[in-house]
Structure 1
Amino acid sequence: MHKSRNEWLRWVVFLVVAAVLSALVWVCWSVITRSHSIPGLLDSGPDTKVSVGITDMPQSLDIRATASASAERLLLDNVYETLLTVDQNNQLKPGVATDWKTSDDGLTYTLTIASGLTFSNGHTLDAGDVVWSLQQAITQKYADVDDLGDLKSVTNPNDSTVVITLAQTNPTLLRALSGRLGIAYDSEAGDADYAKQAVGSGPFTVGKFTPGQSLTLDYNGGYHGTKAHVGTVTFTQYSDETSLADAVSEGTIDMAAPATTTVASQMNGKDGLTVTEGATTDKVLLAFNNNSDSIMSDQNVRTTFRYLIDSAGIAASQSDSSGALGGPISPLEPGYEDLTGLFPHDMSKTQTMTSYFGPYLTTVDLVVTAQWQPMAETIKQQIEQLPRPSVNLEVVSDEEYVKRIQDGTWELTLMSMNGTDDAGTFADPNSIFHYNHAEVQQAYADARAATNDADYAEKMKVYARKLSEDAASNWLYTRKCFTVASTKLSGYPAALIDQRMPLADLTVK
């Protein structure tokens, strides 16, 4: 009896151990074959850390509700993926959507969503999440939602297809879907605090965020694509360019991006550092107030000023210039054409034109903020080479400047415009430029009615030329951006880093 009981006990122990081992084997196999459901469990990533200095840390990470350029720059392509993305030449490329087709009438867009996508919490990303995200943007009136145009419907006939139908053409819809409006959010994320956290599908996750101070991005081991090459990227805000320059020079940070021209010039040639230049869509212009009570409402006066001011010389003298412009569209935007030859600097022609105006040209108000004062002084000197007009240069605070521009109490100002397709601002007579020209407005309307990218680009070229020929403003040059980085770093982007800074390919030697 005793022997029989021992044998029974041994069998019980054997069965229990076998069951436990079987369970462990099953769990391990499940983890191996479905590791995306437990992000990072088997892939903790590299232990390399990179520190980046910036000057504009966001106060909130919720780029849905606020049009924060800094949050967009840090999060897009890193934490969040968009339906489409752009390359270093600002050309549209596949993102969450691997392919897209547009109907002949330009009213229906069919996007194919990649398979096997997951959010950082392990949830599957499919067409349903894309539709939900677009619907949320519309119903919650998220930032820049008007860029989507007049949407008639957004549906997903299956998990891999999204169909967007428009009530009227919007040739820049795909461009909008490459930015904040194209982010795919997790429809099952619940009450995630997007101001401090993020549930994205990119190669990084948000590790720690201190508003206005720092942001740490962590390697996403569950990322469905090519994984990041570094373990963490920490962005730290510096209050001014001097402290930023000191930090990168002393090795406190590995990279300053984007760096100002001052920081870039100070670090150029310094051992252990590389200064890189890249193109942007940031356009610097001497803007004209075309309101009816402004002297600049006269097309002949505007033309005179464009011949009078040495735009090419100004462009060549600026350390942040990538070249003279001449029109409202930069080389990285659809519809670009070199318009610098329309109004070459010509003092003889200017003298003839100003003598025609007689006492009509007296004084013009040039209102700027402190950052533009040196260039404004140059423009003032160029204008005052002639007996008339004189220039009343006013350097005002940022707050006062906003008020003056909105109130229309200015005639000339220096400013920049940074965004693809922002040339359309001049077609709105209620914009700050108060430019009202029926033929130009019709040209822009024709461009907006385009049903494909090629047609849109050609019609924007026509619009831009008409706008420049009428001297609606004086477009001086396109800016370039700068990155200062340790020579041990590679794989970081050079162009467009003022708008987005994808760092998945960032590598430490």
Structure 2
Amino acid sequence: MLTRLKLSAAVLALAAAPLAAFAAQDTITVGMQLEPPNLDPTSGAAAAIREVTYANLYEGLTRFGPDGSVQPGLASTWESQEDGKIWTFRLREGVKFHDGTTMDAEDVVFTLDRARAADSTNAQKQLFAGIETVEAVDPLTVRVTLKTPDGNFPFNMAWGDAVIMGPESVAGNATNPIGTGPFKFGTWVQGDRVELVANPDYWGEAPKLSKATFKFISDPTAAFAAMMAGDVDAFPVYPAPETLDQFKADPRFSVIVGTTEGETILAMNNKQPPLDNVKVRAAIAHAIDRQELIDGAMFGYGTPIGTHFAPHHPDYVDLTGLSAFDPEKSKALLAEAGVTVPKLRLALPPPAYARRGGELIAARLRNVGIETEISNLEWAQWLEQVFKGKDFDLTIISHVEPMDINIYARPDYYFQYGKPEFVAILDRLSATVDAAARSDLLKQAQTMIAEDYVNAYLFQLPKTGVANARIKGLWENTPAPAIDLTGVWWED
């Protein structure tokens, strides 16, 4: 009898084994090339912060959908008065922060007042500069009065920099983030990974994933190996496009190619001689072969751009001809400038497009008589030295925030432009509601920075992603820096 019982138990165990093997998977490991410097998107500029936190940990009044549309977030509805000068947001009921405290109108007032305060460290402080007052009409109603009408205000509130935070927890959000999202913070092993777990008290539809791990792999070769070995389930912004054909040929994987909001530029320090001379900047722009960069640094993926604006936007103006590859014109402009160009410091952050592109650009500049000194910086070092310290001549970076041409109106921004005439255009844009008039102003803005050669405009960063073929729901395009896992699941 004992032997028969053991045998029966063994048979049952074997029968159960396939069921366990094919049980629905509800955890995911996501690869990222850059590690966020902190986990508070309201006090840091790095896109990696939002890639981990946007929609997963933190939520705003509104949010971006995968198609770039503005959708309800913590506000279920909103309406405007006086042609967009007054905005009233109706908040959802029953929303709590991860620490159990209630999210209500007072938290919205706190968040927006903090973002626009004189001592605010918000990287996109201009999003809030037009606010005159924020009032809690009742616990679930917020009224925002602007200095001038702004029909784009709900769009501004969808940015990762505008997520709602509680005064009880905001001080610790850099390392212990407390939001309202469908995932809660688990652990952060610095240099390795961030782990999130499903929020059992989430106000909305529960995520299909119980746990998500963001794994940081900076080396493209290591990223390829991790995907092939199954150590990483998905790499939504995959850093080694040269290996995409191998994944396309392997039925275990899906390759997801889309667009981003990432304008990749050779940024120039406009206050640093001789780069304060527009002819020198123009000479640098004409020395660069955009297609060579796309082929050599991105293996054919990418769209040439001639200004700081996404080509898929309906108001985009193709200005690539203003800075077409023309080495002889570049040399002539340098002669006209009449200045000696010293060896320029080319600071390169870690992404492969920057490191590979930097070598190609340095060679092209050498051909027209401009020498460069390349320094490869780690991400935190780039943020401190280049972005904050403005201690550079040239750098290569993708600006991945949506509709961010307004950074050119900020004279203290790292490339230091802020031309008064450009600021005037952006001021008129902020006060304009009419769609046709806004389109015209956006086209004027694009043209002015292209004609001033503020930076050398290279290409629109593509979104090249790789994932296990069973994973569904990842964004194809990237209308904002985000790895939104709220709608991701494993197909059986």
TM-score (norm 2): 0.78
Residue 254 (str. 1) matches residue 236 (str. 2):
no
2:157 to 177, 180, 192: 177
Q: Letter of the aligned partner of 2:192 in structure 1?
A: Q
Aligned partner of 2:399 in structure 1 is 417
Aligned partner of 1:459 in structure 2 is 441
Q: C-alpha displacement at 1:92, in angstroms?
A: 2.0
1:450 to 432, 435, 442: 432
Preserved contact between residue 98 and residue 184 of structure 2 (Cα < 8 Å): yes
2:192 to 210, 213, 221: 213
Preserved contact between residue 341 and residue 370 of structure 2 (Cα < 8 Å): yes
CA deviations over 1:8-58 (Å, ceiling 9, x no partner): xxxxxxxxxxxxxxxxxxxxxxxxxxxxxxxxxxxxxx7622222334344
Q: How does 1:393-408 map to 2 (within 5 A)?
A: 393-398=372-377
Aligned partner of 1:71 in structure 2 is 49
Preserved contact between residue 310 and residue 345 of structure 1 (Cα < 8 Å): yes
Preserved contact between residue 333 and residue 421 of structure 1 (Cα < 8 Å): no
Preserved contact between residue 171 and residue 453 of structure 1 (Cα < 8 Å): no
Measure, in 1, the Cα distance between the counterparts of 2:179 and 2:484.
Answer: 14
Q: Letter of the aligned partner of 2:373 in structure 1?
A: E
Aligned partner of 1:8 in structure 2 is none
Preserved contact between residue 86 and residue 144 of structure 2 (Cα < 8 Å): yes
Measure, in 1, the Cα distance between the counterparts of 2:384 and 2:199.
Answer: 42
Residue 487 (str. 1) matches residue 472 (str. 2):
no
CA deviations over 1:328-358 (Å, ceiling 9, x no partner): 112356843222233433567667x45x937
CA deviations over 1:444-494 (Å, ceiling 9, x no partner): 332233346764443122111122123333211111123221112111113
Aligned partner of 1:475 in structure 2 is 457
Measure, in 1, the Cα distance between the counterparts of 2:193 and 2:314.
Answer: 35
Preserved contact between residue 428 and residue 435 of structure 1 (Cα < 8 Å): yes
Q: C-alpha displacement at 1:365, in angstroms?
A: 3.5
Q: How does 1:11-160 map to 2 (within 5 A)?
A: 48-58=26-36, 60-67=38-45, 69-104=47-82, 106-120=84-98, 125-138=103-116, 141=120, 143-144=122-123, 146=125, 147-160=127-140
Partner-residue secondary structure (3-state), 1:157: strand
Q: Letter of the aligned partner of 1:375 in structure 2?
A: G
Preserved contact between residue 27 and residue 212 of structure 2 (Cα < 8 Å): yes
Partner-residue secondary structure (3-state), 2:321: coil
Structure 1 runs not aligned, ≥5 long: 1-45
2:183 to 204, 215, 218: 204
CA deviations over 1:184-204 (Å, ceiling 9, x no partner): 3456x6799545544433222
Aligned partner of 2:220 in structure 1 is 241
Q: Letter of the aligned partner of 2:325 in structure 1?
A: H
Most deviating of 254-263 and 400-409: 400-409
Preserved contact between residue 278 and residue 480 of structure 1 (Cα < 8 Å): yes
2:142 to 140, 143, 162: 162
Measure, in 1, the Cα distance between the counterparts of 2:412 and 2:206.
Answer: 47
Preserved contact between residue 288 and residue 473 of structure 1 (Cα < 8 Å): yes
Measure, in 2, the Cα distance between the counterparts of 1:365 and 1:66.
Answer: 31
Q: How does 1:333-352 map to 2 (within 5 A)?
A: 335-346=315-326
1:273 to 242, 253, 272: 253
Q: Letter of the aligned partner of 1:418 in structure 2?
A: V
Measure, in 2, the Cα distance between the counterparts of 1:430 and 1:199.
Answer: 31
**Equivalences, count:** 457
Partner-residue secondary structure (3-state), 1:162: strand
Preserved contact between residue 245 and residue 263 of structure 1 (Cα < 8 Å): no
2:303 to 311, 323, 332: 323
CA deviations over 1:263-298 (Å, ceiling 9, x no partner): 85364433412221232122222334444841x444
Shift of the 425–88 alpha-carbon distance from structure 1 to 2, 3 Å rule, reads same
Preserved contact between residue 144 and residue 181 of structure 1 (Cα < 8 Å): yes
Q: Letter of the aligned partner of 2:32 in structure 1?
A: I
Measure, in 2, the Cα distance between the counterparts of 1:244 and 1:258.
Answer: 11
Most deviating of 161-170 and 401-410: 401-410
Q: C-alpha displacement at 1:136, in angstroms?
A: 4.6
Preserved contact between residue 151 and residue 165 of structure 1 (Cα < 8 Å): yes
Shift of the 415–365 alpha-carbon distance from structure 1 to 2, 3 Å rule, reads farther
Structure 2 runs not aligned, ≥5 long: 1-23
Partner-residue secondary structure (3-state), 1:342: helix
Partner-residue secondary structure (3-state), 1:466: helix
Same amino acid, percent of matched pairs: 22
Preserved contact between residue 58 and residue 164 of structure 2 (Cα < 8 Å): yes
Shift of the 108–395 alpha-carbon distance from structure 1 to 2, 3 Å rule, reads same
Most deviating of 92-101 and 125-134: 125-134
Partner-residue secondary structure (3-state), 2:258: strand
Most deviating of 266-275 and 75-84: 266-275
Preserved contact between residue 81 and residue 201 of structure 1 (Cα < 8 Å): yes
Measure, in 2, the Cα distance between the counterparts of 1:438 and 1:192.
Answer: 36
Q: Letter of the aligned partner of 1:256 in structure 2?
A: F
Most deviating of 453-462 and 249-258: 453-462
Most deviating of 156-165 and 103-112: 103-112
Preserved contact between residue 60 and residue 211 of structure 1 (Cα < 8 Å): no
Q: Which has the larger radius of gyration?
A: 1
Shift of the 193–428 alpha-carbon distance from structure 1 to 2, 3 Å rule, reads closer
Instruction: Provide the alpha-carbon RMSD of the alignment.
Output: 3.7
Q: Letter of the aligned partner of 1:450 in structure 2?
A: T
TM-score (norm 1): 0.76
Shift of the 206–291 alpha-carbon distance from structure 1 to 2, 3 Å rule, reads closer
